[in-house]
Amino acid sequence: MKVEVYSITYRILLSDVQQAKLDRKWPDGGPFISYEKIESLLEPLPIEDLYWSHHTGQFIYFTVRGDDFEDTVAEVVERLERKLGNV
């Protein structure tokens, strides 16, 4: 029997400035940067289970599926830094 890693869940520590950008709200209370916006930013990368919340601390969580974990994570970090600013 051969066992292979198929997916890995990662978390990225956010700076105070990055967290503040994710916490911004529209006047109606909706998030300024929605899950849908971040998910579309990360397409077509093999990312699932994208999550952040004030309950989890200053982290974004996501699961990478496939074979090229390192390059995918590097691309996620690069795209998030473009959207939220550098750490």
pLDDT in tens, 1-31: 999 889 999 999 999 999 999 989 999 999 9
Domain contains 24? yes
Domain contains 1? no
Kindly give, in sequence order, each residue whose CB lies less than 8 Å from that of residue 60, ignoring residues fewer than 6 positions away: 11, 12, 14, 22, 38, 50, 51, 52, 80
Residue for token digits 């198929």? 6
Which CATH number is 11's domain given?
3.30.1370
Q: What is the pTM for the complete model shown?
A: 0.85
Domain contains 25? yes
- Looking at residue 5, its amino acid is V
Domain contains 2? no
Q: How many domains does the chain have?
A: 1
Domain contains 78? yes
How far apart are the C-alpha atoms of 12 and 4, rounded to whole Å?
Answer: 24
Identify the pLDDT of residue 41: 94
